[in-house]
Structure 1
Amino acid sequence: MTDTGSAEPGNPGTGPDQHGTEAGSTADDGVPGSLFGPGSQFHAFFSDPRWALAVLRATVLEAAHPQVGAALIENSTFVAHPWRRLRNTLVSLQRMFGPDEEVRQREADRLNRLHARLKGSDARDRPYDAMDPRVRAWVVATLFESSVTMCRLSGQPLEQTAMERLYAEYRAYLAVLDGDARHLPPTLQEFWPYYDRVVEEELENTESMRIILYKLFDHLPAPPLLQGLPTMWAAGRSVVGPLVGVITVASLPESFRRRAGLPEMPGARTLMQSAYLAAGLARFLPDGWLQTEHVTKLLSLSPDSDDPRARTVSALRDRMKRAAALVRLLTPLPPEPEPGDGTDARRDAAEFFTTVLDQTGDGFLDWPDLAAMAREIAGRLDLAEPAETRLYDAFADWWRELQAALDTDGDGRVSPGEYAAAVPSLAGPALIRVAEVLFDATDADGDQRIDADEYRALFRTGFRRDMTDADGTYARAAFVRDFLSFMSGRARSTPYDPLLAGA
């Protein structure tokens, strides 16, 4: 653990940086000179289209670290629920780099509780711990270095002052998380030898890295905008996916590419630089067109939502359906099912296992899958202690109940075969407890009713009037009944599908 009370020269978490700004402070609330908020260098990058490429590159470099790679492969939902993971990551970064110090500290506390639960051993029995300060420093280092690289590859390298400024901001971010930033070098000049050393001595060709580079886009589920249009999505994915992989590999440090045996296709560097240049040109589109927050929310927006932007989604889907119809006229493909036609009211056991229970996408049900459910719910409701721990404990009890009933071979996890053979009713005492705890967490004012605002906080949509009582609220009994119906009856549910089954 890091000594949170220590100070060191140049540490942005403990004293003024080279510009005279208190790195851990937000006294100027985002005006020029602040390391957080709208005046920061990071804020200028957040809605830059090039940053999508930079974040993907940073994620690959993170996953190449053995500890991060092991934590991702065993606990993360990035394979089965990538759009949800993307949105949660961006929301977290917005909170951490925003001008509100109270929001930032609350988010840091939430991240620390989350990371404290991620520890174990990899396939080679090497321990990993998401709270290891050296590993957390590396994650921040990849974000900084990839931001610098994106500017260089797009022909607009950062000036030295801007680069130092950005580095101070990322060190301040780490200081908020860890209490200090001692595991990142105090100056930019010292950062580059540190970065090269980690790349040369610690990074590996991990399974998580290979999945991100070569498998993730091959199986990437459609965002809500394109659900119900598998032909159109598969066609676009088959073209874009390999290109993204080639671009990302070409942007990685050359020494690591050689050591990890990552192939570089002919013309890859030209393609990579063209992609960064093209993304950079998109910055000149009208303000608001490419705001990261707006684009991410649009991608995760369900057409069934009562959000006004759902009309835009519906209009785009209608246009895409017409295009898909044209494709089907030209190619011998079976017709695509229309969502909501009554044929998809229930899932079979295999689909329920894959889309709801197997949150990590590894083909089995075990504790990380239920922990991912608890993590998603706690994040949506922005739970603090002790409500968050109470929710995790309820899911842990449910896992023990499922393991005792379904794990027939005693390997510590439940396979699809074990699940299907048992054809269980999942509504045991522990699941009922989960439903009760979930109700209490959602009922923020504790009046034993869920009102429209509380419902929207969990499901990000308004509830239908037929779900409510005469006073326009959602009673405990009805909430628990609907949750159990979804989890045990395998019925599709407008609110719970986006929460637990959505990509």
Structure 2
Amino acid sequence: MTDPDASAPGATETDDHSAPTPPADEAQLGALFGPDSQFHRFFNDPRWALAVVRATVLEAAHPQIGAALADNSTFVAHPWRRLRNTLVSLQRMFGADDHTRQREAARLNRLHARLSGTDAQDQPYDAMDPQVRAWVVATLFESSVTMCRLSGQPLDRQSMERLYAEFQAFLAALGDAAGHLPPTVQEFWPYYDRVVEEELEHTEALRIILHQLFDHLPAPALLDGLPTVWAAGRALAGPLIGTITVASLPEPFRRRAGLPEVPGARTLMRSAYVAAGLARFLPDNWLRTENLVDLLNPSPDRDRDRDRDRDRDSDRDSDTARTATLTSLRDRMDQAGALFRLVTPFPVQHTPAEPTGALRNADEFFTEVLDQTGNGYLDWPDLAAMARELSTRLDLDEPEETRLYQAYAQWWRELQAALDTDGDGRVSKEEYAAATPSLAGPALIRVAEVLFDVTDANGDGFIDEAEYRTLFRTAFRRTMTEADTRYTRGAFVKDFLSFMSGRRRSTGYDPLLADA
């Protein structure tokens, strides 16, 4: 059995689990989603941040998931971008609109279908494996139950069964057949204990999360102007989050993985969960997840956005007020950063204020743009991550998504042929630096052309302001005359090549492909 202080067997949470959780049929499926769901009550709950971190660690400890994360994920180099995309996906899946949920489920299935391979020990992994997908859902459910217990607000029987039914419905919405998760809550806990005790390992992805990500987490865009303050805060918060997370993990797994038991860690863990639970008494608008994500990932064109929003019709007044509030806070952070740099002897680091068009050196461009997975090499998963981010921004369906992936695959073959001098199947930073006169071959031009085509949603041969904003999440940054307010194919391709091969900074492409 698992340690009751570290996991959440059903018997420790409620008095009776004899009644089975009924499987959700199609008529019930819609009722399990939407604003009245248990999930939505958790989504804006500060405690859920701790629960999601814990669930991510348990996912990474699964050999197949750990291998897929280590090979393909951008969570090390671009954690804030990954966070935003994950939250948007969860909102779509648990929202009230069934059409949106179906489209997102199809998108997730296409994404997972592209994540397969072998790990360093030649063991296969496949993100479409139904048992693997069931474990991801299991960690979210169990960590949500655990967060309630550790914060002194355990779920009652009805709430727990409702939450379990919602996560079962989430798995069903992805098209997975029933049976990969146990049908009832009382049957879930033996399943969970078995996986923890028999299948989880101290994977490379787990090691990176616990010993690298927390300690080297890059600053979110809001705090990019305060690198010294961020570094000081991270030095304290990183080990703290790691200690809290490890203390909350199941005891059998902690022992087998050799994770240390820090004195006082359990008391610290419970205190963190209780403190997060008390935040529920704060005003609701302070805790909305989308507001917090907006603060962490502000629009790079906030001044123009603010001016444009002020010109909206009266039905946009609430959005304008929200934008004005966020903009005011960001401006104050910029001012604080400028003042702090004036009164401290620390060297100035790169911030988003660096002018558009400035050149990066080869080493910086390789690290910030090309190496999307953060493993120190350029290979196919890095370019696939670019295609994935662009497809996500544009919310592409088939066949446009596949066209974009195929264009990037062709570019990878061209890069591999030109730059992989030692034949190891990947491009090192040194190999890239030795061959940087130009990357603008025919395949990269094709990527630019396909990206233009899929961004030009109405097919009129131009990218208008709305289409530009969909891709870059910012207003036009180009100088346009009144008669020419659209982005032409030639200008778009030129700017894309200038960024990707000329290593020029870009107000649009930096937040899209370079920022954390």
TM-score, normalised relative to structure 2: 0.90
Q: Which has the higher contact order (CA 8 A, sep 6+)?
A: 2
Letter in 2 for 1:159: D
Listed as ranges, the matches of 1:458-469 within 5 Å are: 458-466=471-479
Q: Which of 464-473 and 102-111 deviates more?
A: 464-473
Task: Tell me the secondary structure at the aligned position of residue 128 of structure 1.
Answer: strand
How many angstroms apart in 2 are the aligned matches of 1:181 and 1:53? 29
Match of 1:454 in 2: 467
Inter-CA distance 237–457: structure 2 relative to 1 (3 Å threshold): same
More moved, 227-236 vs 394-403: 227-236
Equivalent residue, structure 2, for 1:229: 226
- Partner of 2:434: helix, strand, or coil? helix
**Which 10-residue stretch deviates more, 233-242 or 171-180?**
171-180
Rate the CA distance shift 1:193–1:467 in 2: closer, same or farther, 3 A: farther
2:366 maps to 353
Alignment correspondent of 2:426: 413
In 1, the alpha carbon distance for the partners of 2:354 and 2:165 equals: 54
Residue of structure 1 in register with 2:505 after alignment: 492
Contact 1:366 1:412 in 2 (8 A): yes
* Residues 406-415 or 209-218, more deviating: 209-218
Structure 1, residues 403-458: CA drift from partner, whole Å, max 9, x if none?
00000000000000100111241110000000000001100000011111111110
Residues 98-117 of structure 1 mapped to structure 2, 5 A cutoff? 98-117=95-114
Alignment partner of 2:427: what SS?
A: coil
How far the C-alpha of 1:180 sits from its partner, in A, is: 2.8
Cα RMSD between the aligned structures? Answer: 1.7
Counterpart amino acid of 1:14?
Answer: D
Residue 278 (structure 2) aligns with:
281
Q: Answer yes or no: is 1:317 the counterpart of 2:326.
A: no
Deviation per residue, 1:89-116 (Å, 9 max, x gap): 0000000000000000000000000000
The corresponding residue for 1:247 is 244
Unaligned runs of 5+ in 1: 1-8, 16-21, 27-33
Aligned to 1:14: 25
The structure 2 residue matched to 1:203, chosen from 190, 194, 200, is 200
Give how far 1:316 is off. Answer: 2.2
Residue 212 of structure 1 and its aligned partner are, at CA, apart by 0.8
Indicate if the aligned counterparts of 1:401 and 1:430 stay in contact, CA closer than 8 A.
yes
CA distance in 2 between partners of 1:95 and 1:338 (Å) = 32
Q: Contact 1:439–1:479 (CA<8 Å) still a contact in 2? A: yes
Q: 1:61 to 1:341 in 2, by over 3 A?
A: closer
Whether the 8 Å contact between 1:75 and 1:369 is mirrored in structure 2 is yes
Percent sequence identity over aligned pairs: 73
Aligned partner of 1:258 in structure 2 is: 255
Q: For the structure 1 residues 367 and 341, does the alpha-carbon distance in structure 2 shift closer, same or farther, using more than 3 Å as the test?
A: closer
Are 2:356 and 2:505, in contact at CA under 8 Å, matched by a contact in 1?
no
Of 37, 40, 44, the residue aligned with 1:40 is: 37
Out of 344-353 and 382-391, give the one that drifted further: 344-353
Establish whether residue 126 from structure 1 lines up as the match of residue 123 from structure 2.
yes
**Aligned match of 2:4:** none
Deviations 1:37-81 (A, max 9, x none): 001000000000000000000000000000000000000000000
**SS of structure 1 residue aligned to 2:378:** coil
Offset, 1:303: 4.7
Identify the residue that residue 75 of structure 1 maps to in structure 2. 72
Q: Deviations over 1:198-248 (max 9, x none)?
A: 000100000101111111022211111011321111011001000000000
Deviations 1:356-399 (A, max 9, x none): 00000000000000000000000111100100000000000000
Which region of structure 1 is more displaced relative to structure 2, 107-116 or 417-426?
417-426
Given that 2:356 and 2:506 are in contact with CA atoms closer than 8 Å, whether structure 1 keeps it comes out as no
* Structure 1 residue 469 displacement after superposition: 7.5
> Which residue number in structure 2 is paired with residue 395 of structure 1?
408
Distance in 1 between residues matched to 2:417 and 2:447, nearest whole Å: 17
Partner of 2:435: 422
CA distance in 2, matches of 1:325, 1:235: 18
Q: Measure how far apart 1:12 and its partner are.
A: 3.7
Give structure 2 stretches of 5+ with no counterpart: 1-19, 307-325
**Alpha-carbon distance, 1:298 to partner:** 1.9
1: distance between equivalents of 2:481 and 2:297?
A: 25
